[in-house]
C-alpha cells in the first residue's frame, strides 16, 4: 500500500531535495569570516591562541619551583631567562646565575644543596627540555618579546613579573602557578597560525619555516 | 473503502500484461484505477508504461540542483579558500584565478550532478528497501507481474481479469 | 576560508603581475652577476655547500644526476670555434642558481603550495610542506631545483661532519625538493636585527654566501626595492627592469642599447628573473 | 659581523647549547609537530661569558691553512661549533674573499677520518696508545738520538712560517741538526730562483691591477699559482674599467687559461723559445734587449720559434705587438715553464720580457725585506724531497719528523722514497689524518686542526705591507688531548731544553709572549700588551712594515736546448694541479671531491686530457681507460677528450690515487706523480715535474666519466652567456 | 553453412531464451575456465613484484627510479596510460548508450568496470611517484588545522579533483547500471552471495516506477559522464600543456590525449573482450560481430590519433619554436628514437590490420594486435614525458635516462593490481548486463519477426511473442 501511495506523491521529493540544496548553498554564502588580519591598535598581551595540551610531568634533576620565584618572590621571568630578549632561544639560566643568589639564600634547602653540588663539581645541570619546536621552525623569542613587551611603552616602565608573565603565558602557560614547567599548550602549527591571525603576525611561510 | 488485499499476476509476455492493464484502465474492475497498478518486469518496456499512463519522474530536478550547487558552491568555496590563504600569490598570477577555479568548478558541477542524481534515484525509487512482499523471483527471470491493491470485493474480478489474459500464476496476500 | 575576505579585496585578488599582483613586496632581493669578472673557480658553489647544508652525494649518485649543488658553474665553449684545432680563448662560465623569478613557472604548479612567492620577492620552498611531486622542477626552465632522491642526513654527514651543519637551516630528508634561497637565513637574521633596532636593512649589511665568497666580486646582491642599493643601481645602469616596475611586456624590456651589458637568462620565457647577468666581454684577437 | 674580544680560551669551554644532532631535519616521517617533552636534554651553561648568547653566531678571525697563501678568515661560531668560514676583509691577501679550499676548512676540521689517538708501531702494526705513552716514547727515542747523533734528526715539512718555523728551527738547533726539508709539489721554487737572480728579490709584488696586459706562461694565478685568491681579487680590478688583456700560453688549459682572451697551445717544454720568439719580435719593433740575452733572442726569430713551439709566427708577432701596445704589462712564468730540465733558463727568458718591456718597477715592485728572518716562510720545493730521499737511502737519518706534507704520496716512485724510509729507524708523523706517510710511521701523533690551534703565519707572497697573520682556535678540540702543532713543538723542545722553554705553559703563552716582546716600532702606540694581543686577534693579523727596496734587472745569459722528440714515449705528461684537491691533500674533503673540476667538470675521479687528434690516433673516446706508461711506471685513467691541451701532451690532474687517506679519497683515480721520471732541473736541482715523457695505450675498458653537464659543451644557440666586444665595453664602461 | 555465417553476423542470437541468458551469465560466478586462474596467479606475481619495488623505493628513496632532470618518468607515463584506458569504458557505456547503439549491451559492463579499475590503478601513480607519499593527503582540500590549503592553481590538484570525480561517477554509473542484474543475482544465489547481492541490490524489484526513474537517472549520469571523461583527460593533459616546457606546452594536447585515451581503451576492451569470452565461454554473447564493431571503432580512433599526432608535429615544426623543434627532433633521431618509431609503428601502422575483415574475425590476431596497440600507446605516454625532460630549455642539464628496474617493477605491479581488481570483479559480479541483453534480444526479435512478417507478406496480427520460448498453450 505504502509503495503505491508514495508513488503518487509526485513532485514533493524533488521540492524537498532542491530546498535542502538551496539551504546548503545559502549556508556557504553566509559562512563567517575566520581570518581577521587586522590587529588591535594597542596590544598589551597577545590574544592567546586557543587550544590546550595535556602535558606530561617532566622529572627535572632539580625540582625547580617557578611559583616560588615568580609568584612569591616576584622575580621577573627575564631576569633568569635573560637570553629571551636577545636571541631566538630563551635559554636556561646558567648555574652561575642561580648561585648568584643561592650562595647566600636558602642554602640549607635540599634543592639548593643539590644545586650547590652541581656547581662545585663544575657540572651543568642536565635539565630536560619541555618546550620545543621542530627543527624546521624558526621561532625567535626576541621578536615576540619586542612586540608584546618592549614595544609597549607603558610596560617598559613598570616591567615586573606580573606584566611579563602573562606574555610568556601565551605559549608556556602561567608559570606563576607551576613548580617545574609543564607543556600545557599544543605548540602546533595551527595553534601558532591562529595566534598570528589574531595578533597580526606574519602570514608568510618563510617567516617561520626554514 | 479500504484497500486490504494485494494480488500479483504473473504473465508470460508483455502483450498479455499490457492488455490486462488496458482492461483495468477501462474500468473492468469497479473502483480500481490505473494508479493502483504496479507493474514489475525484468526489463524496461515502454509499451507497458504507456498503458500505465504518465507517471512523472523528478530525478532531473535533483540533478539540476546538485549540478548548480556543485558549480556555484565549489567556486565560492575555492575562491574564498584562496582569499584567506595568502601564500597563494604565485607565478605572477592573481590570487583568485578564474581559469583554474573554472576547471575545478566544472568538475565539481559534474560530481554534484552525479551524486544528486544518485540521491534522486534513491529517493524517487524508494531505495534501499526490502523487496516487495509479493515479489516473485520469476520476474527477474522472464515473467511480467502486475500487482494490484484491492478491496476485498474486487478480488474475484481481478483474478478473472488476469485469467482472461492468460495469467500464469496468481498470488495474493492480505495487507496489514 | 571566508567569503568576507573574498568580497572585501576582490579587485586586488584579481590582480596579476601586470597590475602589481597581491604581493605587498617589502623587499625584492636581486642579484647582478658580472660574467666579465667570473673566473669559474667554484668558490661560490662550495660556500653554498657550507652555508646551506647541501649534501654530498658521492660519485655513483652524482653520475645519476642526484647532485644537490644549488649554485653550479656552467662552462660552455664558443660555438664559432667548433672547428678550430684549439680554443683560442677561454671558456664561458655561467654561475647558475635559482633565478627567483617574479613570474616563476615553478610556483603555480605545486599541488600543495609548498613553493610560493614571498613578500620579499623570493621563490620560497617550504621543505616540510613539500610532498615531492617534483612538478616544480619539471617546470623550471633553468633546472635549478634539486630533489632529495635519497635520505642524506646519515650518509652525507658522518659524525663529526654533522657538527658543521648550519642550525639556521633545515637539513632536508628524502623526498623533498630544494633550491637556492638567496640565503634566506641571512635575510631573516638581517630583517630581525633591523626590526629589533627599529630601522631599515642597510645595503651591504649582509650578503649571500656565494656573493660573499666570490674572489672577483662578480656576484652583487641587494634589495631591488631600495633605490640606493648597489644592485638597483646596476640594474638601472644596464636598463634591466622587473615586470611590474612598469608592467612592460617583454619585448620592450629587452635591451635596447647594445652597449649595455645587462640581460637575464631565457628572458623570452617571461619568467622575470631576479638575477641579472652582465655580458661576458670578448676581446676580438682571433 | 661581530668581532668580539677574545679572552683566553674561555669561550671554548662552552658546552653545546643544542646538540649538533638536533640540527637534523625532522623532515621525514612523522611530520606531526608535537614534540614530546622531557625527551631531550638542554645543556645549560655553567658560567658563560657575557657575549655568548645561545642562538647567535659570533665571528672570530683566524688564518686559513688550506694552502700556503695565508688568507685571513673569519669563522662563525655558534654554540661552541665552528660553522662557516669566510674571508677576513682586513687581510691584504684575500680582502674578505675565500676560495673553495678555504671554505672547506671546516670539513678538514670535522673530517670523520681524523685521528683521535696517537699510534705506535708495535710488531709491524700501528696500534692506538695513550698520549702519556706517546710522549714517553718520543722522549726516549729522540733523547737517545740526541745523545748519539743529534745531527741525524730531520724535520720534513710542508711550507711553514711564523713561530712554527721558528720552533722547528730551534728544535733542530737544540739537537744540532740542520735537516729541515721543506717540500711542496705546487711551488714556484725555480721562479723564486730566477727572481732572486734577476730582480734581487725572491718574491716581489706583482701589481696585476696596474697591468694592461698579462701574458702568462702557464702561471695559473687564478687557480694554483702562489696566492690564487689574492690574484683573483686583483684580476677583478684588472678586468674592470679599461679592462686588461689576458694572454695565456700553456700546453694544457688551466683555470687562468680558461679566462684568457687569447689562449696559445704551446708545445710542452718550448715556452722559453716562445718567450724568446716574442722577445725577438719585440726587438724587431725596436725594443732594446739586454746585452747578455741578445744572442739567445737573436736565435729565435718568430718563424723559428713558430716551428718549435707550434704557435704561428703571425701569432707571435701579434702578441709582441699587443705587449708593446698595452703598457705596462706583466709577464709571468708558471709551473709548466719551470718544471722542465731547463726550467730556469726558460723562466729567465720569460723574465727577460718583463725587463725588456720595462715592467720591473711598474707592475713588478719590491716587497721589501720581512723584518723577522726567523719567522720568514720556509717555502716548499721538490729539491728537498730529492735530497731527503737520497739521505734516507744513504741511511743518513735516525729520526725524522713529518708535518704538513705527505711525501710518500707525492714523491715519484722513481725516487725510491718509500723504500728509503725503511732505513730511518724512527719516523714520527704529526698529522690530522691517517695518510700514506703516516702508514709508514713508527709513531703517529694526531695534531689539532687549524680551527683548533694557535699559530702565526707569514705568507711567502706579501701583497701589501708585511703581515704576520694570526691563527686562533675557533672551538674546543674535537679530540681531547690532541695538541696543537706549536704545543707539540714546545713539548719536544722542553724535552731537550727544559729550562729555556719551561716558562711557557703552552704555545698560547709562547705566542702571547712573542707579541709582547715585539719591537716597539711595530706596536701601535698607547696600547698595553694585553690590548695589543686582543686587537691582533680581533683583526687576525699584525702589520710589520718594511721599507721596500729597489729591484735590479740582471738578466743573464739564456741558453735553451731543443726539446728532443722521444719515439718510444711520444707524449709529455702534465701533472696538472687543481684548485680544489691541490696536491692531493684535500682529496679527503667531500665538498672538494664533489665540486666539479673547473674545466672538465669531472667529479670524484682522475682523468687524462687528450687532444681530439691524439685521441683519434689512439682510437679512444671519452671514458675509455688508457694506460699511461713512463719509463718509471704506469697508471690507468679515463680519457677526457679536450681541445684545450696540446696534441703532444697528456694532462692528468693531481690529487687522486690515494691509498690510505680516508673514506673520501681512497681508491679514486690515479696519482700521476708516481710515474714521474727523476729528471732534475739543471740549475736549481728541483724535480722537473713536467719533464716526463709517456706513452698512452688503450686498454679496451670503458667506464663512464662522471661529470656535470655531461652532454653539452655548447649553449645550443640559446642566450645563456651573452658576449659583448671589448671595444664596446671600454667605450661604455672604461674609465 | 550459409546459415551459420548469417548467424555469426548477428550481434546476438535472437532466439536466446531469457532464462538461458540468466543461467549463462550467472555461470560466470561459478566455473570459469582454468585460464582464468592462471591469469589470477600471473597478476598476483606481478603485484608482488610491484609491491617489492615500491617497498624498496619507499625505504631508500626515489633515487631508485628517478634522476635529475628526469623528475617524472615511467610513473607519470603509466598514470596517463591507465587514465587513458578508462576512457573507452565511458565511450561504450555512456556515449553509445545515449545514441542507443544496442550492440554495446553485452560488453559495456566489463568496459565500465575497466574504467573504474583502471582509474583506481591510475590513482596509485601520483601517490607512488611522490617523494613523500605519506603526505599525499595534503593535496586534498580538506579543511585544514594549519590554515593551509592545496594550491588550486596546480594542474596536479586539478588531477586530484578530476580523477576523484571521475572515479566516483564511473563507479556509481557502473553500480547503478548493475542494480537490476544484482537483483537477478540475488534471486539466483544462495549463501554469502545471496546476502551480498541482497544488500547491494537495495531491494530492487523492477517496478515500473523504478524502471522509469532508473532510465532517466541512468541517462542523466551517462550525459554527465561524457563531458567528464573528456575533461578528465584534458586536465591530465594540462599537467603538460599548462607547463612551459617545450614539447609539453602544446595546445593540441587535450584532444590528442583524449583520442589516445579512447584508442588505448578500445584496444584494451578488445583484449578483455577476448579474455572474458574465453574464460566464461561467452561466445553467444561476445560475438565476433560485436568484436568487429569495436575493432572498427578502434581503427577509426587510431586514425584520429594518427592525425592529431601529425598535427602536433606539424604545428611544432611550423611554429618554429627552436626549443620545441629540438625536442621533436631529439624524439625522432635521439636516444629515444627506437621507442618513438616503435610507438609510431604500433600506433599508426599496426591498426591497419583492423581494416581487414578476415583479421578482425581472427581471435589470436586480434588478441596480439590489441596488446601491441596498447604497448604503442604506453610508449606514446613515455615519449610525451621523457624527451621533454631530457632535452628542455637548458642544455646544461640535458640527459637521457632509461628506467630502472624499480620503476619497471612498479609499472608491472600496476598491471597485476589492475588485473586482480578486474578479475575479482568479473568473478563476483555479472560482467555481462543480463537485463540489457534481454532487452536487446527482445527488441531484435521483435524487429526480425516484423521484418519476416513483412517479407512473408502475411497480413493480420503478429503472433504473440513468448519471452520464454514456451509454447503458449504448454502449461
pLDDT in tens, E407-446: 999 999 999 999 999 999 998 898 888 888 888 888 888 8
Q: Are residues B44 and B85 in the same domain?
A: no
Question: Given pLDDT bands bounded at 50, 70 and 90, which one contains residue C181?
Answer: very high
- Nearest-CA distance from A41 to chain C in Å? 19
Q: Which chain B residues are within 8 Å of E19, Cβ to Cβ? A: 141-142
- Say if the Cβ atoms of E147 and A188 lie within 8 Å: no
Question: Given pLDDT bands bounded at 50, 70 and 90, which one contains residue C245?
Answer: low
pLDDT at position D32 over 80: no
Q: Return the pLDDT at E172.
A: 93
pLDDT at position E240 over 70: yes
- Tell me the C-alpha distance between E204 and B42, whole Å: 11
- Say if the Cβ atoms of B110 and E435 lie within 8 Å: no
Q: Are residues A83 and A171 in the same domain?
A: yes
Q: Are residues B63 and B102 in the same domain?
A: yes
Q: Which chain D residues are within 8 Å of A129, Cβ to Cβ? A: 37-42
HSE-CB for C260 with a 13 A CA cutoff: 17
For an interface test with B, give the residue of C7, C21, C121, C242 to mutate (most B CBs within 10 A).
C21
Give CA torsion, residues D494, D499, D504, D507, to 10 deg: -30
Q: Are residues A83 and A99 in the same domain?
A: no
Q: Which chain C residues are within 8 Å of A136, Cβ to Cβ? A: 127-128, 170
Containing domain of residue A132, as a range?
Answer: 47-92+127-210
Q: Which chain C residues are within 8 Å of D71, Cβ to Cβ? A: none
Query: Strands D571-576, D467-471: parallel, antiparallel or unpaired by DSSP?
Result: unpaired
Question: Lowest-pLDDT range, E143-147, E208-212, E291-295, E448-452?
Answer: E143-147
Give the three-state DSSP class for D587.
coil
Q: Which helix (H) or strand (E) holds E86?
A: helix E74-90
In tens, the pLDDT along D44-74 reads 777 776 667 778 888 899 999 999 899 999 9
Residue A201 falls within a domain, yes or no? yes
- Tell me the C-alpha distance between C58 and C158, whole Å: 13
> Grid coordinates 684545450 are at which residue?
D644
Q: Give the Cα-Cα-Cα angle E78, E83, E87 (nearest 5 degrees).
A: 140
Q: Which residue in chain E is spatially nearest to D720 when comparing CA positions? A: E394
Query: Strands C123-125, C115-117: parallel, antiparallel or unpaired by DSSP?
Result: antiparallel
Q: At what angle do helices B14-25 and B155-164 cross, to 10 degrees?
A: 140
Q: Return the pLDDT at D43.
A: 65
pLDDT at position C277 over 90: yes
Q: Which of A54, C71, A50, E59 is nearest to D595 (CA)?
A: C71
For residue D687, give Cα distances in angstroms to A8, D190, D384: 111, 10, 10
Count contacts between B and E (CB, < 8 Å). Answer: 196
Outline where chain A has alpha helix (H): 2-8, 12-29, 66-67, 77-80, 95-102, 110-120, 141-145, 153-157, 161-172, 189-199, 205-208
pLDDT at position C91 over 80: yes
Mean pLDDT of A154-183: 81
So where are chain E's domains?
A: 32-450
- Tell me the C-alpha distance between D367 and D206, whole Å: 9
For an interface test with C, give the residue of B72, B91, B101 to mutate (most C CBs within 10 A).
B91
pLDDT at position B34 over 80: no
Mean pLDDT of E180-207: 88
Q: Choose the CATH number for D571-702 among 3.90.580.10, 3.40.50.360, 3.30.1130.10, 2.40.40.20.
A: 2.40.40.20
CB count within 10 Å of CB E9 equals 11
Mean pLDDT of C260-266: 88
Q: Which residue in chain D is spatially nearest to A121 when comparing CA positions? A: D46
The DSSP secondary-structure symbol of D257 reads G
CATH-assigned architecture of domain C15-278: 2-Layer Sandwich (3.30)
> Is domain E32-450 in CATH 1.20.1630.10, yes or no?
yes
The DSSP secondary-structure symbol of D463 reads S
- Grid cell, residue E261, equals 585515451
**Which region, left, alpha or beta, applies to residue C51 given φ > 0 means left and ψ of -120 to 50 means alpha?**
alpha
Q: Which of C209, C67, C69, C157 is nearest to D102 (CA)?
A: C209
Q: Are residues A116 and A174 in the same domain?
A: no
- Say if the Cβ atoms of C127 and D719 lie within 8 Å: no
HSE-CB for A87 with a 13 A CA cutoff: 19
Amino acid at each position: 500500500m505504502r509503495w503505491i501511495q508514495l508513488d503518487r506523491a509526485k513532485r514533493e521529493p524533488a521540492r524537498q531535495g532542491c530546498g535542502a540544496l538551496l539551504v546548503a548553498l545559502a549556508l556557504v554564502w553566509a559562512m563567517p569570516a575566520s581570518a581577521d588580519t587586522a590587529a588591535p591598535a594597542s596590544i598589551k598581551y597577545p590574544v592567546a591562541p586557543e587550544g590546550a595540551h595535556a602535558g606530561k610531568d617532566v622529572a627535572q634533576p632539580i625540582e625547580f619551583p617557578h611559583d616560588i620565584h615568580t609568584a612569591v618572590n616576584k622575580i621577573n621571568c627575564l631576569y633568569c631567562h635573560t637570553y629571551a630578549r636577545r636571541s631566538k632561544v630563551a635559554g636556561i639560566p646558567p648555574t652561575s646565575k642561580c648561585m648568584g643568589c643561592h650562595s647566600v639564600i636558602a642554602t640549607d634547602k635540599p634543592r639548593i644543596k643539590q644545586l650547590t653540588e652541581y656547581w662545585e663539581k663544575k657540572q651543568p645541570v642536565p635539565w630536560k627540555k619541555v618546550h620545543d619546536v621542530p627543527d624546521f621552525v624558526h621561532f625567535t623569542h626576541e621578536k615576540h618579546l619586542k612586540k608584546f613587551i618592549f614595544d609597549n611603552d607603558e610596560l617598559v616602565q613598570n616591567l615586573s613579573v606580573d606584566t611579563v608573565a602573562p606574555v610568556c603565558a601565551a605559549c608556556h602557560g602561567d608559570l606563576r602557578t607551576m613548580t617545574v614547567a609543564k607543556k600545557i599548550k599544543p605548540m602546533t602549527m595551527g595553534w601558532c597560525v591562529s595566534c598570528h591571525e589574531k595578533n597580526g603576525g606574519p602570514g608568510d611561510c618563510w617567516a617561520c619555516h626554514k | 473503502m479500504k484497500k486490504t488485499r494485494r494480488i500479483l499476476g504473473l504473465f508470460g509476455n508483455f502483450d498479455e500484461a499490457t492488455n490486462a492493464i488496458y482492461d483495468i484502465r477501462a474500468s473492468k474492475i469497479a473502483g480500481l484505477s490505473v494508479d493502483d497498478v504496479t507493474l514489475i518486469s525484468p526489463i524496461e518496456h515502454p509499451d507497458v508504461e504507456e498503458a500505465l499512463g504518465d507517471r512523472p519522474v523528478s530525478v532531473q530536478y535533483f540533478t539540476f540542483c546538485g549540478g548548480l550547487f556543485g558549480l556555484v558552491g565549489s567556486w565560492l568555496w575555492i575562491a574564498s579558500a584562496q582569499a584567506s590563504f595568502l601564500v597563494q600569490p604565485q607565478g605572477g598570477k592573481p590570487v583568485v584565478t578564474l581559469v583554474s577555479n573554472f576547471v575545478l568548478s566544472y568538475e565539481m558541477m559534474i560530481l554534484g550532478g552525479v551524486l544528486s542524481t544518485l540521491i534522486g534515484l534513491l529517493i524517487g525509487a524508494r531505495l534501499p528497501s526490502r523487496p516487495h512482499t509479493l515479489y516473485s523471483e520469476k520476474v527477474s527471470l522472464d515473467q511480467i507481474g502486475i500487482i494490484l491493491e484491492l478491496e476485498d470485493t474486487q478480488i474475484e474480478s481481478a483474478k478473472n481479469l488476469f485469467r482472461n489474459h492468460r495469467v500464469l500464476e496468481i498470488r495474493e496476500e492480505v495487507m496489514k | 576560508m571566508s567569503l568576507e575576505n573574498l568580497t572585501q579585496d576582490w579587485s586586488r585578488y584579481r590582480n596579476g603581475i601586470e597590475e602589481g599582483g597581491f604581493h605587498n613586496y617589502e623587499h625584492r632581493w636581486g642579484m647582478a652577476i658580472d660574467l666579465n669578472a667570473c673566473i669559474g673557480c667554484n668558490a661560490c658553489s662550495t660556500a653554498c655547500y657550507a652555508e646551506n647544508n647541501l649534501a654530498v652525494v658521492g660519485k655513483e649518485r652524482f653520475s645519476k644526476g642526484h647532485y644537490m649543488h644549488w649554485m653550479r658553474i656552467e662552462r660552455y665553449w664558443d660555438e664559432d670555434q667548433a672547428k678550430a684545432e684549439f680554443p683560442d680563448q677561454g671558456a664561458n662560465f655561467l654561475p647558475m642558481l635559482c633565478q627567483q623569478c617574479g613570474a616563476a613557472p615553478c610556483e603555480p604548479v605545486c599541488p600543495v603550495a609548498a613553493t610560493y612567492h614571498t613578500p620579499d620577492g623570493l621563490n620560497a620552498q617550504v621543505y616540510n610542506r613539500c610532498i615531492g611531486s617534483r612538478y616544480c622542477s619539471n617546470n623550471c626552465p633553468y633546472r635549478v631545483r634539486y630533489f632529495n632522491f635519497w635520505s642524506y642526513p646519515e650518509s652525507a654527514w658522518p659524525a663529526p661532519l654533522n657538527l658543521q651543519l648550519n642550525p639556521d637551516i633545515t637539513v632536508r630528508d628524502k623526498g623533498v625538493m630544494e633550491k637556492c634561497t638567496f640565503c634566506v637565513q641571512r635575510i631573516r637574521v638581517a630583517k630581525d636585527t633591523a626590526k629589533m633596532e627599529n630601522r631599515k636593512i642597510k645595503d651591504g649589511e649582509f650578503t649571500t654566501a656565494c656573493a660573499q665568497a666570490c674572489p672577483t666580486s662578480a656576484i652583487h646582491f641587494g634589495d631591488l626595492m631600495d633605490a640606493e642599493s648597489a644592485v638597483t643601481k646596476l640594474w638601472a645602469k644596464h636598463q634591466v627592469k622587473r615586470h611590474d616596475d612598469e608592467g612592460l611586456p617583454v619585448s620592450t624590456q629587452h635591451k635596447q642599447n647594445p652597449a649595455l651589458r645587462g640581460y637575464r637568462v631565457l628572458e623570452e620565457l617571461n619568467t622575470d628573473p631576479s638575477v641579472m647577468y652582465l655580458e661576458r666581454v670578448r676581446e676580438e684577437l682571433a | 659581523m661581530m668581532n668580539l674580544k677574545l679572552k683566553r680560551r674561555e669561550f671554548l669551554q662552552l658546552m653545546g647549547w643544542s646538540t649538533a644532532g638536533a640540527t637534523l631535519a625532522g623532515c621525514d616521517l612523522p611530520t606531526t609537530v608535537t614534540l614530546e617533552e622531557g625527551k631531550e636534554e638542554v645543556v645549560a651553561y655553567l658560567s658563560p661569558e657575557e657575549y655568548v648568547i645561545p642562538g647567535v653566531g659570533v665571528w672570530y678571525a683566524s688564518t686559513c691553512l688550506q694552502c700556503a697563501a695565508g688568507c685571513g678568515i673569519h669563522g662563525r661560531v655558534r654554540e661552541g661549533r665552528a660553522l662557516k668560514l669566510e674571508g677576513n676583509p682586513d687581510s691584504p691577501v684575500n680582502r674578505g674573499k675565500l676560495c673553495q679550499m678555504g671554505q672547506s676548512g671546516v670539513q678538514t676540521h670535522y673530517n670523520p677520518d681524523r685521528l683521535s689517538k696517537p699510534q705506535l708501531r708495535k710488531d709491524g702494526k700501528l696500534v692506538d696508545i695513550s698520549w702519556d705513552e706517546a710522549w714517553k716514547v718520543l722522549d726516549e727515542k729522540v733523547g737517545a738520538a740526541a745523545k748519539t747523533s743529534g745531527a741525524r734528526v730531520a724535520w720534513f715539512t710542508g711550507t711553514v712560517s711564523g713561530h712554527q718555523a721558528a720552533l722547528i728551527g730551534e728544535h733542530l738547533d737544540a739537537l744540532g741538526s740542520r735537516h729541515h726539508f721543506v717540500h711542496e709539489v705546487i711551488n714556484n721554487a725555480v721562479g723564486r730562483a730566477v727572481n732572486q737572480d734577476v730582480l734581487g728579490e725572491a718574491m716581489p709584488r706583482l701589481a696585476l691591477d696596474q697591468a694592461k696586459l698579462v701574458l702568462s706562461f702557464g702561471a695559473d694565478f687564478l687557480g694554483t699559482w702562489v696566492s690564487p685568491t689574492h690574484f683573483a681579487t686583483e684580476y677583478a680590478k684588472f678586468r674592470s674599467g679599461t679592462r686588461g688583456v689576458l694572454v695565456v700560453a700553456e700546453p694544457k688549459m688551466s683555470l687562468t687559461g680558461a679566462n684568457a682572451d687569447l689562449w696559445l697551445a704551446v708545445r710542452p717544454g718550448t715556452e722559453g723559445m716562445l718567450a724568446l720568439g716574442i722577445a725577438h719580435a719585440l726587438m724587431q719593433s725596436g725594443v732594446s734587449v739586454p746585452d747578455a740575452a741578445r744572442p739567445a733572442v737573436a736565435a729565435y726569430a718568430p718563424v723559428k720559434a713558430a716551428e718549435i713551439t707550434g704557435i704561428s709566427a703571425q701569432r707571435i708577432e701579434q702578441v709582441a705587438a699587443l705587449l708593446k701596445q698595452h703598457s705596462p704589462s706583466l709577464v709571468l712564468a708558471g709551473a709548466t715553464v719551470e718544471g722542465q730540465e731547463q726550467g730556469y733558463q726558460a723562466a729567465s727568458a720569460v723574465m727577460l720580457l718583463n725587463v725588456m718591456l720595462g715592467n720591473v718597477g711598474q707592475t713588478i715592485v719590491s716587497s721589501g725585506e720581512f723584518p723577522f728572518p726567523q719567522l720568514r716562510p720556509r717555502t716548499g720545493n721538490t729539491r728537498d724531497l730529492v735530497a731527503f730521499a737520497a739521505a734516507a737511502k744513504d741511511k743518513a737519518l735516525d729520526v725524522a719528523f713529518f708535518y704538513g706534507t705527505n711525501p710518500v704520496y707525492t714523491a715519484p716512485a722513481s725516487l725510491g722514497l718509500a723504500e728509503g724510509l725503511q732505513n730511518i729507524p724512527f719516523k714520527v708523523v704529526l698529522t690530522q689524518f691517517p695518510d700514506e706517510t703516516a702508514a709508514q710511521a713508527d709513531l703517529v701523533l694526531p695534531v689539532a686542526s687549524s680551527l683548533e690551534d694557535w699559530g702565526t703565519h707569514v705568507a711567502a707572497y706579501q701583497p701589501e705591507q708585511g703581515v704576520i697573520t694570526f691563527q686562533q682556535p675557533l672551538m674546543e678540540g674535537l679530540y681531547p688531548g690532541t695538541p696543537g702543532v706549536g704545543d707539540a713543538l714546545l713539548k719536544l723542545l722542553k724535552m731537550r731544553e727544559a729550562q729555556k722553554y719551561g716558562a711557557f705553559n703552552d704555545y698560547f703563552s709562547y705566542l702571547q709572549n712573542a707579541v709582547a716582546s715585539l719591537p716597539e716600532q711595530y706596536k701601535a702606540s698607547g696600547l698595553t700588551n694585553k690590548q695589543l694581543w686582543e686587537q691582533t686577534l680581533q683583526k687576525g693579523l699584525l702589520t710589520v712594515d718594511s721599507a721596500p727596496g729597489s729591484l735590479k734587472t740582471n738578466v743573464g745569459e739564456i741558453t735553451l736546448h731543443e726539446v728532443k722528440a722521444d719515439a718510444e714515449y711520444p707524449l709529455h705528461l702534465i701533472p696538472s694541479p687543481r684548485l680544489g684537491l691541490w696536491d692531493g691533500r684535500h682529496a679527503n674533503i667531500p665538498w672538494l671531491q664533489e665540486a666539479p673540476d673547473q674545466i672538465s667538470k669531472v667529479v670524484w675521479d682522475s682523468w687524462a686530457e687528450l687532444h681530439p687528434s691524439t685521441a683519434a690516433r689512439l682510437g679512444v673516446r671519452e671514458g675509455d681507460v688508457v694506460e699511461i706508461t713512463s719509463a718509471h711506471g704506469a697508471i690507468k685513467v679515463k680519457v677526457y677528450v679536450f681541445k684545450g691541451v696540446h696534441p703532444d701532451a697528456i694532462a692528468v690532474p693531481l690529487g687522486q690515487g690515494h691509498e690510505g687517506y680516508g673514506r673520501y679519497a681512497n681508491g679514486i683515480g690515479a696519482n700521476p706523480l708516481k710515474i714521474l721520471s727523476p729528471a732534475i732541473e739543471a740549475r736549481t736541482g728541483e724535480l722537473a715535474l713536467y719533464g716526463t715523457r709517456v706513452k698512452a695505450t688503450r686498454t679496451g675498458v670503458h667506464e663512464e666519466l662522471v661529470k656535470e653537464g655531461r652532454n653539452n659543451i655548447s649553449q645550443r644557440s640559446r642566450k645563456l652567456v651573452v658576449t659583448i666586444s671589448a671595444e664596446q665595453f671600454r667605450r661604455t664602461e672604461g674609465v | 553453412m550459409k546459415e551459420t555465417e548469417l548467424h555469426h553476423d548477428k550481434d546476438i542470437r535472437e532466439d536466446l531464451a531469457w532464462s538461458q541468458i540468466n543461467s549463462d551469465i550467472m555461470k560466470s560466478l561459478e566455473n570459469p575456465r582454468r585460464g582464468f586462474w592462471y591469469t589470477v596467479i600471473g597478476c598476483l606475481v606481478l603485484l608482488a613484484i610491484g609491491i617489492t619495488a615500491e617497498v624498496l623505493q619507499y625505504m631508500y628513496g626515489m633515487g631508485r627510479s628517478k634522476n635529475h632532470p628526469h623528475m617524472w618518468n615511467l610513473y607519470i607515463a603509466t598514470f596517463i596510460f591507465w587514465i587513458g584506458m578508462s576512457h573507452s569504458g565511458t565511450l561504450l557505456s555512456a556515449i553509445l548508450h545515449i545514441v542507443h547503439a544496442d550492440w554495446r549491451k553485452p560488453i559495456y559492463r566489463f568496459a565500465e568496470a575497466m574504467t573504474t579499475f583502471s582509474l583506481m590503478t591510475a590513482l596509485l601513480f601520483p601517490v607512488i611517484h611522490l617523494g613523500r607519499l605519506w603526505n599525499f593527503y595534503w593535496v586534498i582540500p580538506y579543511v585544514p588545522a594549519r590554515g593551509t590549503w592545496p594550491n588550486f592553481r596546480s594542474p596536479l590538484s586539478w588531477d586530484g579533483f578530476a580523477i576523484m570525480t571521475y572515479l566516483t561517477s564511473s563507479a556509481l554509473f557502473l553500480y547503478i547500471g548493475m542494480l537490476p542484474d544484482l537483483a537477478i543475482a540475488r534471486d539466483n544465489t544462495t549463501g554469502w552471495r545471496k546476502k551480498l547481492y541482497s544488500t547491494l541490490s537495495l531491494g530492487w524489484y523492477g517496478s515500473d516506477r523504478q524502471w522509469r526513474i532508473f532510465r532517466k537517472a541512468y541517462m542523466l549520469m551517462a550525459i554527465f559522464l561524457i563531458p567528464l571523461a573528456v575533461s578528465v583527460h584534458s586536465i591530465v593533459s594540462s599537467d603538460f600543456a599548462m607547463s612551459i616546457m617545450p614539447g609539453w606546452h602544446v595546445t593540441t594536447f587535450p584532444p590528442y590525449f583524449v583520442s589516445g585515451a579512447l584508442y588505448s581503451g578500445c584496444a584494451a576492451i578488445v583484449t578483455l573482450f577476448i579474455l572474458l569470452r574465453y574464460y566464461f565461454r561467452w561466445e553467444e554473447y561476445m560475438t565476433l560481430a560485436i568484436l568487429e564493431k569495436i575493432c572498427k571503432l578502434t581503427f577509426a580512433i587510431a586514425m584520429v590519433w594518427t592525425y592529431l599526432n601529425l598535427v602536433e608535429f606539424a604545428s611544432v615544426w611550423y611554429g618554429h619554436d627552436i626549443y620545441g623543434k629540438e625536442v621533436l627532433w631529439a624524439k625522432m633521431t635521439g636516444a629515444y628514437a627506437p621507442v618513438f618509431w616503435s610507438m609510431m609503428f604500433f600506433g599508426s601502422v599496426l591498426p591497419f590490420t583492423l581494416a581487414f575483415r578476415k583479421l578482425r574475425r581472427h581471435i589470436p590476431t586480434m588478441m596480439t594486435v590489441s596488446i601491441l596497440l596498447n604497448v604503442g600507446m604506453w610508449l606514446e605516454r613515455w615519449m610525451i614525458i621523457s624527451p621533454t625532460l631530457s632535452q628542455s630549455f637548458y642544455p646544461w642539464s640535458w640527459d637521457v635516462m632509461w628506467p630502472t628496474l624499480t620503476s619497471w617493477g612498479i609499472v608491472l605491479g600496476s598491471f597485476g593490481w589492475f588485473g586482480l581488481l578486474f578479475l575479482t570483479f568479473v568473478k563476483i559480479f555479472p560482467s555481462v548486463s543480463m537485463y540489457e541483453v534481454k532487452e536487446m534480444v527482445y527488441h531484435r526479435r521483435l524487429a526480425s519477426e516484423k521484418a519476416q512478417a513483412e517479407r512473408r507478406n502475411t497480413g493480420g496480427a503478429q503472433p504473440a511473442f513468448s519471452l520464454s520460448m514456451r509454447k503458449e498453450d504448454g502449461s
